[in-house]
Structure 1
């Protein structure tokens, strides 16, 4: 365990740089802030490049020979933090590497997000998918960065555990179709109530931007469309709520299959 006192230290500079997508992409790293997120990251120690703690918390952290641990003061925590409330614990984390080929080989339930731009929604979706047994999350190139600080915080640790593939485009979707995956759109046109759709077997639930929906190219791949019946006085649900409702039904169906 080492102590850092200077804002010019290279690890402090690296942590601060990860506030920006350019450097997250360049370094293949991101920042996790707060005890809950750091503890989830430490469940996969191979991902943790560096750990930052306050001096008074040093006794709570077991010495890890495989992780570089740094004690820093509140002044430096304020520099590396992306929120107003520093929780005295942060980590520089390597982006997990997931293999699309492994997802194509399983009898899985996947979620494909098309042009989702709100960080809070994406974070909530990652959290729900992790909680409800989704086998993998696919993002089109137009989606918000899943490793941005707000998304990471909203996942409540799901970002470390849920298989996530970025920049999924036509070639990857064609491969999934060739391996037997069926696509289920979300929408209103020619739609079935979500609980009347068979979500067992190789299925991909597609959710689009609340503003512009699913792109025509992806919609053309969908075998059927699901809808969620709601109070007619309400215009719609947000995409994170819709995802949680439908994935919960998929989890129920898929668990029942194995009873």
Structure 2
């Protein structure tokens, strides 16, 4: 196994990786970090373009480390051994797991979203919390959604906390940045209804027909869905809350909506 060693914090690759951990250079470098064995393995499973893999000596000596590093080498990644203190410097997690990969991020335009027979899309309207966004991506993956659309105001989808919260799901489905005007034009062109969550929605989630194509919008954690999208939505979905809570967490609301669509779509057709 061919590896190189870096021991200086001044090395350009270490500085670049450390900047990614602080999420300062994601946009300009086109890279993001995937920390820990699970995320690195998920990237390899998805044939994601891994540029470098940083690891500690202790990790390499483990059975899991030897297996994963050999696999990363076969995938074309450069293997770089670093001391523990440098690994901690280039990782966002408080306790690094011994391995971190630098992966090339991908930008999928709306027009390149693959057509499907019965599309189901998750639309994030200014979701600002990294944990929420990462969890929504994971939920969308679990529900079999065709993609996650990120509108302005969303936090960076490749920020370390978002990537960790996806638990690898970001490698499984397209993540698409768009503005609201582009989105509504795209949905109209493809015949996909826009359904927006709204505390004062005109129909209960459980009375809405989600068996056909739909793009489900979940709004900002404090402001909800934007007026622009509410005005253009075919239906405004209200999630019934018989208790005293005023609202639901954005990721929870997404899970309820997407899996209600899954439930309805899994029912046999009515005679």
TM-score, reference length from structure 2? 0.89
Find the aligned partners of 1:194 and 1:201 in 2 and give their Cα distance: 14
Give the structure 2 partner of residue 48 of structure 1.
50
What SS does the aligned partner of 2:206 have?
Answer: helix
Q: Determine if contact 2:39/2:167 at 8 Å carries over to the other structure.
A: yes
Compute the RMSD of aligned alpha carbons. Answer: 2.0
C-alpha contact 1:104 1:176 (8 A) present in aligned 2: no
Aligned partner (choices 78, 81, 91) of residue 88 of structure 2: 78
Structure 1 portions without partners, runs of 5+? none
* Aligned-pair CA distance for 1:54: 1.4
SS at match of 2:113: helix
Match of 1:231 in 2: 242
Q: Deviations over 1:181-225 (max 9, x none)?
A: 101111132432212211122211011112111111111110111
> 1:62 and 2:64 equivalent?
no
Q: Is the 8 A contact 1:184 1:224 kept in 2?
A: yes
Find out whether 1:158 has 2:166 as its counterpart.
Answer: no
Q: Distance in 1 between matches of 2:8 and 2:22?
A: 21
Residue 228 of structure 2 is matched in structure 1 by 217
TM-score by length of 1: 0.92
**Which portions of structure 1, spanning 4 or more consecutive aligned residues, are displaced by more than 6 angstroms?**
none
Q: Work out the CA distance in 1 between the residues paired with 2:4 and 2:106.
A: 26
- C-alpha separation between the residues in 2 aligned to 1:115 and 1:71? 39
Query: Partner residue of 1:118?
Result: 129
Structure 2: unaligned runs, 5 residues or longer: 61-65
Mapped contact 2:135–2:166 kept (Cα < 8 A): yes
1:222 and 1:46 map into 2 onto residues whose CA distance is 35
In the TM superposition, 1:95-244 aligns within 5 A as 95-103=105-113, 105-106=115-116, 107-244=118-255
1:183–1:206 contact (8 Å) kept in structure 2: yes
SS at structure 1 position matched to 2:256 = helix
Number of matched residues?
A: 259
